[in-house]
Structure formats: structure tokens, C-alpha cells
Structure 1
Amino acid sequence: MRKLLLLSLILASPLTFAATECTTADKAQWQDQDTFQADLKGQGYEIKKFKVTSGNCYEIYGHDKAGKKVEIYFDPVSGKPVKSNVES
């Protein structure tokens, strides 16, 4: 059974494991991380964790102004959300 599970994971589509890709722009074009976070806080977000992903995104974990848990990936150039998970 374990061999079957391992084989199915190996043969799984690479898209299954693909990270969210936000931009291919040079990092010189990205918004300043501190300014970006300050802008989000000004919009009512409480940021528990902020990171730059391998897919060239700014990612936050925290809460929105309604207090719902959020995980949001942002394009670091435009600042627009690319993918989000919001607690229902």
C-alpha cells in the first residue's frame, strides 16, 4: 500500500505542487516591503506573518478588518491580490 501511495505521489501532476507565481519582474521594481505592509495595516489588516515566497509573491497571514483569518498572495509590483484564502 505504501509503495502504491509513493508511486502515485511521484506520478502526480507537477501542477499539484506548483507554487503561486506572482511576478517575473526584477526585484528593483517591487514595492518596499515595509511600506507595503504599512499600507495593508492602514486598510485594516493585522499581519501575523509576512514573507516573500519562492513564486515571487508577498504573502501575508493574519486577519482582515472584519477579524477573519486570511492568507493572501500579492503581486509585489502592483500590490494586487493574486490568490487568497479567507476564513468563512
Structure 2
Amino acid sequence: MRNLLLVALLVASPLALAKTECTTADKSQWQDQAKFQEGLKAQGYDIKKFKVTDGNCYEIYGWNKDKQKVEIYFNPVDGKVVKSEIED
């Protein structure tokens, strides 16, 4: 039983640690962080936290225009949403 649990943990571990990758483009091609955030605010987002991830994404935590709590990963080159989670 212990060996089965160990095998299950080893198989699942890489999935749990998988990170969201947004771009491989050079950072010189990325949109300016401050301007990007201002654009989101103009769309109605209330940004609590903004960061650049290890997977080369702009990530925000906050609320959308409908006041739903969001976590969104954006491609910093073209601004497209790569991954999003919305709570009601």
C-alpha cells in the first residue's frame, strides 16, 4: 500500500508543479507593465496584485467590471488571456 501511494505521488507531482507559460518572446517585445495595468483598469478591472510570473506572464489578482474575483494570466506581448479563474 505504501509503495502504491509513493508511485501515485511521484506521478502526480509534475502535474501539480506545472506552470503556466505565456511567451518565449524577448522582454524587449513585452508591453510596458504600467501601461498594461492602466489599460486593464480602463476596462473596469480593480487590480489587487500584479506580477510577472516565472512562466513569462503578466498575472493579476483582483476583480473584473462585474465585481467577480479574478486571477488572470496574460501574454505580455499581445495582451491575450492565457488562463483565467473567476469566482462568483
What's the TM-score bracket when you normalise by the shorter of the two chains?
0.7 to 0.9
Normalising by structure 2, we get a TM-score of 0.88
Structure 1 ranges of 4+ moved more than 4 A: 1-7
Which residue of the partner structure matches residue 69 of structure 1? Answer: 69
Which residue of the partner structure matches residue 57 of structure 1? Answer: 57
Q: CA deviation at 1:6?
A: 5.7
The 5 A counterparts of 1:1-88 are 8-12=8-12, 14-88=14-88
Aligned length in residues: 88
For each residue in 1:44-68, what CA deviation from the matched residue of structure 2 results, as whole angstroms up to 9, or x when unmatched? Answer: 0000000000000000000001100
Gapped regions of structure 1 (runs ≥ 5) = none
Identity of aligned residues (%): 69
SS of structure 1 residue aligned to 2:72 = strand
Q: CA deviation at 1:14?
A: 1.8
Cα distance in structure 1, aligned partners of 2:74 and 2:8 = 32
**Paired residue type of 1:63:** W
Cα distance in structure 2, aligned partners of 1:5 and 1:49 = 37
Gapped regions of structure 2 (runs ≥ 5) = none
